[in-house]
Amino acid sequence: MDQLHKKFTDSEVKKLIERYLDGQIKRTHLEKILGIKRRRICELVKIYRNDPQGFSIGYNRKKPTRKISDNTQEAIISELEFEKGLIDDVNIPLRSYNYSYIKDRIYQGYGMKVSLSTVIDRAKKYGFYKKRKKVKAHDREVITNYVGELVQHDSSHHRWSPSASEKWYLITSIDDYSRFMLYAKLFRKETSWTHIQALEAVTLKYGLAYSYYVDCHSTFRFVQGRDSLWRKHYLVTDGIDPQWKQVAEELGIDIIYALSPQAKGKVERPYRWIQDRLVRTCAREDVDDILGAQRILEKEIHRYNYKQVHSTTGEVPYFRFARALDEGQTLFREFVVKPPYRSIKDIFCLKLERTVNAYRKISINTLVLKVNGTPGDKVDVKIYPVNNNISQFRIWRKDELLDIHRVKNSELKGVHF
């Protein structure tokens, strides 16, 4: 039935129809010869009878073009001009146009529906077009079989809002199997504590992941350089465990290190997607504070998790994540506070070791705390920042909680969270 014009010429079909109308061949034979159904035969006969001389089986594939309104045209050009201003600003991390974003923006901001091809057509017509650079092909295959098998964790430092006077850190955690974004938050400073907070949030909400995939940043791994002529190194790589690593290992989470930026590709691609949307929306809404940017980020993460079909998995991340959980296809483990610990503050915390002096006190730089211990005791100091003003110090001697102190963060000189 399909592609009849590729099998026969107009004249061949015309002669067959004339023979059919003259009673020389039966309809069933005509159907077999042409490979079409009765309905199509009737259509061809009708076309022939209406215009025997102009009979043709060719398709007229030209569709009438729908002219967009002047208001829609102005909205497209206005958004493209705004995009160009962002791209031309060297201080803003955008280097190409995002026509899909403009299409969505026109619908959300102006209430106008427009196709992506129309936006691209106007961009090329009015000079708002940059040819994309060719990038090296990369492996986009999902290598894990379970949710929670591998969580990719990283941070990115950018000027996320053009109206802001400072750069912020975006810290995210993404499940490798489902590509579901488990955590995303903006911080003014990147510290060990901000990454511990991220680990705490994911663990309390979803459970203990089997492994984390991170880079070799000093927050996650101590890497010693080579010996030099003036200095002899005695500590080798991993000779000291950073705070985040201590927490992860105590939870029984395996840590895998990416040895190059290219190896972090799976988490970098969502970053680029979020970066595009976050920067562009902050610019259009003139956001100049981190709280406003965080609200926009949460909307974009919701869109990414619950509405966007991922190009690699072909599924919406949330539905892939939820289906895996329903089918027991998960390596997330239930998190519980195990004895002797009494609180999550004993686990998700910064850790120090101190020795009780003769006055039954310990010192942390200029801070001195009294301890209900014996002089010479080795104690573990677990620091949990409750908020921006106060931190809780929990003093442990082996499996015994000796003291709990609350200290103003302003008094913790030299202690970096």
Q: Are 145 and 322 in contact (CB under 8 A)?
A: no
Calculate the dihedral angle through the C-alpha atoms of 50, 55, 57, 58, rounding to the nearest 10 degrees: -110
Q: In terms of domains, do 179 and 254 share one?
A: yes
pLDDT tens-digit readout, 161-183: 888 989 999 999 999 999 999 99
20 and 116 in a single domain? The answer is no
Q: pLDDT tens for residues 263-280? A: 555 556 666 777 788 999
- pLDDT tens, position by position, 235-262: 434 445 789 999 999 999 999 988 655 5
158 and 289: one domain? yes
The two structure tokens encoding residue 328: 């027991």
pLDDT of 141 reads 63
- In terms of domains, do 230 and 162 share one? yes
Asked whether residue 207 is assigned to any structural domain, the reply reads yes
Same domain, 262 and 217: yes
Do residues 161 and 298 both lie within one domain?
yes
d(CA 76, CA 356): 69
Q: Are 138 and 260 in contact (CB under 8 A)?
A: no
Residue 46, domain extent: 4-50
Tens-digit pLDDT profile for residues 200-239: 999 999 999 999 999 877 777 655 444 444 444 444 344 4
Q: Does 166 share its domain with 117? A: no
Alpha carbons 410 and 412: distance in angstroms, whole number: 6
Assigned domain for 315 exists: yes
303 occurs within a structural domain: yes
Q: How far is CA 401 from CA 158, 335, 347, in A?
A: 42, 21, 13
For residue 145, is it within any domain? Answer: no
User: Do residues 276 and 197 share a domain?
Assistant: yes
| Distance set, CA 126 to CA 104, 107, 130, 376 (Å) | 20, 21, 12, 77
Question: Are residue 88 and residue 121 in the same domain, yes or no?
Answer: yes
Contacts of 48 (CB under 8 A, 6+ apart): 14, 17, 18, 21, 55
Q: Are residues 295 and 168 in the same domain?
A: yes
CATH of the domain at 274: 3.30.420.10
Question: Sign of dihedral through CA atoms 96, 296, 117, 135?
Answer: positive
- If one counts the domains in the chain, the total is 4
What confidence score (pLDDT) does residue 152 get?
A: 92
| Stretch (H or E) spanning 185 | strand 181-187
pLDDT one-digit tens code per residue, 95-131: 888 998 999 899 888 888 899 999 999 999 999 988 7
Tell me whether residue 87 is in a domain. yes
Q: What is the pLDDT of residues 34-89, one digit of tens each?
A: 888 888 888 888 888 888 888 888 765 555 556 788 899 999 999 999 999 888 88
pTM for this structure? 0.74
The rounded mean pLDDT for the chain is: 85
pLDDT at 50: 87
The reply to whether 109 and 175 lie within a common domain is: no
Task: Identify the pLDDT of residue 63.
Answer: 56
- The answer to whether residues 227 and 311 belong to one domain is yes
Q: Is the peptide bond before 242 cis (omega within 30 degrees of 0)?
A: no
- The pLDDT value given to residue 314: 87
Inside any domain, residue 56: no
Give a yes or no: residue 336 inside a domain.
Answer: no
Q: Which two tokens stand for residue 218?
A: 């000093």
CA 275, CA 401: separation in Å to the nearest integer? Answer: 45
One-letter amino acid of 338 = K
Residue 25, domain member (yes or no)? yes
pLDDT of 139 > 60? The answer is no
Residue 33 near residue 27 (C-beta atoms within 8 A)? no
What's the confidence (pLDDT) of residue 406?
95
